[in-house]
Amino acid sequence: MKGLKGKRVLITGASSGIGAGMARVLAREGCRLVLHFNRNQAGIENTLKVVTNLGAEAVVLQSDFCLLDNLDAFFEQAWRAFDGLDGLVNNAGLVSKTTALKDAKGIQFMETLKVNLHAPYLLSTAFAQACIIAKQPGAIVNNSSIHGQATCEWFSAYAASKAGLDAISKVQAVEWGVHQIRVNVLAPGVVPVERTKPILSQPEMAKKWHDKIPSGRYGTTEEMGEATAYLLSDATAWMTGSVLTLDGGLIARGNYPSR
């Protein structure tokens, strides 16, 4: 990807799944990586091993994004790791499933918004402030979801957090454009990861989903990584405030029955 070699990028939630896929692709593109994780020690050690074997410089930082008061210190560490950052990928998040009646007090709702929306807001703002002080451009990619555009039962908290992330990304793009700080959104569809592969790979479940997806298959973490590299690269230098949907056509189809 044009202009990525040597770029310093913080990826949150890089211990597994899409975050690990992003790390692999950006490592191949020659980026220097700050890899965040919360609890998955074995996962982040594997990601670190993979990216260093690909020739990338990388450091690992731990932080629990439920503890918002710790984010300033975490970001300062990330910024200092390579004497600054050129890109921020807000990937870490919770996939919460519950109905409003089962979460009547909104406890799970607020925890989800804290990690999926408030934490990226704070990290993006810290990144923008640091870039402005350093008089340098920057690029932010927020990993959202198709649930920010169209959703279903059980996903009120998750969908609200992702729709909110789409919205604040557009606002931040407008506010920070004058400083040459770009903010774009990646909205993945159904992408099997370690947690969901056992279920999604079952023949009956796979057929159920593949019949609904025009491309006839799931997405891959590697494809999400390629899209992230594209959004961070100079190829999208005039792209900001946009939502890039990668879902095999699921949202475009509108979930209509197969004909």
- Domain boundaries, position 224: 8-250
Task: Report how far residue 89's alpha carbon sits from residue 34's, in angstroms, rounded to the nearest whole number.
Answer: 10
Q: Helices in 107-196 by DSSP H: which ranges?
A: 107-113, 119-134, 156-176
Per the residue annotation, which of 7, 121, 158, 218 is the catalytic one? 158
Domain of 45, CATH number, reads: 3.40.50.720
Residue 155 lies in a domain: yes
Residue 255 lies in a domain: no
The total of structural domains in the chain comes to 1
Tokens of 107: 């406890």
User: Which segments of the chain have a pLDDT < 50?
Assistant: none
pLDDT at 202: 97
Residue 1 lies in a domain: no
Residue 82 lies in a domain: yes
- Is 158 among the catalytic positions? yes
Per the residue annotation, which of 162, 212, 218, 230 is the catalytic one? 162
Q: What is the pLDDT of residues 130-169, one digit of tens each?
A: 999 999 999 999 999 999 999 999 999 999 999 999 999 9
Residue 56 lies in a domain: yes
Residue 3 lies in a domain: no
Residue 225 lies in a domain: yes
Task: Report how far residue 97's alpha carbon sits from residue 77's, in angstroms, rounded to the nearest whole number.
Answer: 33
- Is 102 among the catalytic positions? no
Residue 2 lies in a domain: no
pLDDT at 89: 99
